[in-house]
Structure 1
Amino acid sequence: MEISLKTHCKIGISLREPCPANCRQNLIPNEWSREIRESCIAGEKMNAFAEGKAGINVGASAFLQAHPLVLEQFISKGAVYFEVLRYFLAIVEPDKIREVIEAFSDKLLYKIIIHEYNTFQQTEDERRKLRKTTTFLDLKSNEYWHTLSPQRVCSFIAYCLKEIKDPEFASQFLTVLPPDTVSDLKTLAGLTIDEEKELYLSLKDGIYELPIRSPGIYNHILKLFEDDPEIFLILSTMEELVSRKQQIIESSHIILEKYRSGKLNHQSLFADLSVLEPEITMEILGIFEEKGIIGRSEKNLIKELLSKQRNHRS
């Protein structure tokens, strides 16, 4: 009876119409928006989509605009509704769902991602036979993780450590954090020293890759494991390698800022790279190709010009 009466929300949008863009901003808890929030029919729209009574535009718009509590209530109705939510996560562009995911509770986010992870794990033998090295968070269905704010990812890592007690699962999300965030993870995620050590130890051999990817953490992690002879010994031999990686990151960051400001062209890129060591320039060119800043032919042209210049100098 309640659903049949609630066919329009406070702003006059019916069950058959898509929710207006940015409507969710009016659902933020405060007094003036209470009536709009209470009249919201996003849940009914998603129900209608799940039952085949509403189109994809209506269902997806409701998903994008619904209050997080509405989404939690929606998936609590059963497996079919949970699959509908996962379907929306898969078809909506990552940039568009970032705000939705940011507002999810850690509990809801964990329920979604652990389901995806368990499914991924079931195909491990098949991937090994095909020699595929795709990681869980590289899957297209999980692209939205790379759009989330570092603070949101840190919060989720802390939840997996403190509430779920699963450091190995939590450690996977370190790969979507920028290097400077990893360097300050203890503070941002509110971890104790023991929790932080547990997180890094769960990486197994990956613990030695961490300071290469995030050089700023090197001294901290070295001190963290100074009482562990095996780990400390290996880490202590990596100083030069880490320093080199730091130089690559800093150099590529400077050039990338030029690109973002519109000042980068082939001539300026060539000039910036020509003063660096050959190995570093190759890595930076690789980073730029990976980010789509330059194409392969452009990369090869710059490599050829740099090689000729160096041969000329020698």
Structure 2
Amino acid sequence: MKRMLSLCAAALCLTLALTPTALAADFEPAVPDAKVFYPTSIVRNDDGTELKKIYDLSPEDDPAGIPRSDFRQDGFQYTLTDLLKQELPENESRQHTEHVSIESAKKDMESVLALLPQEREFITDDGLMGTLTLRLDTVQVEPSGYGSSTKQLSVKRSYPNLAEQDTQYIPKSIEDGGKNLTLSDIQWQTDNTANMDGYVVADRYTAVATYTGSTTSSYVKGYTVTADYTGTVSRIALNRVRYVAIFEGVPIQPAEPAKTAGAMSSLRWSYVLIPIGVVAAAGAGVGGALLVKRKRENADEEETEE
């Protein structure tokens, strides 16, 4: 009896396993975990035998999200034959002003312009490059620094017709060119002599005095030249990646309605008849076993009564 119940349970499990819903699930396509992308454009040739789906993705996108399964469209069955990858350069450009500063020993414009070419190549911090042109109205020249120098001054003054060689008649300082100078040396010269008792004696003198001092002056050490260059800078950046999915199209042949319907009907009925037959067989076996058992029990009761 237990064996028969086990057979019934197995039959019921087989019935559930063969339902149309379970069988249909085996034909459903697997859904990829990757993000699904949609084409930016679709190109189809005139006869429909080839169709191209174009996808423009960023470098970080995973191309696994590009659909690759077969599909039907306009009477054609399309199958993926190739997936091409193309790098798409993008041109980025903008107006740019570059401020330059250089040193010059001179401040005249001829010397300055010799240091500033009319055009210069520049590369910005973010990688854009271009040829920029000098703007003459922005050229400026300023002293870059000052230095100082000290110069020694020396002036001589003569004081003639002095009766004696006495420094009291000589000024100790003088002013020359706005500078104060001090007496540093005296040279005496004889202007006149007299004969006294047969001796030649000088009776007039000239003092040649030397006055010295110093002066400090400042000067420009150099000049700083500033100017602006303006123009367009640009670069080619690989910010997009293009994928081209190529599908081959085959015309779909129309199917006969009767045969198709019959086949579908038979297939559907097979889903039902197979498990029903199994259940029926299992039920018949269980019923037969119960009938035999009942007959044996009746026979045993009659023998007991006798």
Normalised-by-shorter TM-score class:
under 0.3
Looking at secondary structure, tell me which structure has more strand per residue: 2
Q: TM-score, normalised by structure 2?
A: 0.16
Q: TM-score, normalised by structure 1?
A: 0.16
Task: Pick the structure with greater CA Rg.
Answer: 2
The structure, 1 or 2, with the larger RCO (C-alpha pairs under 8 Å, 6+ apart) is 2
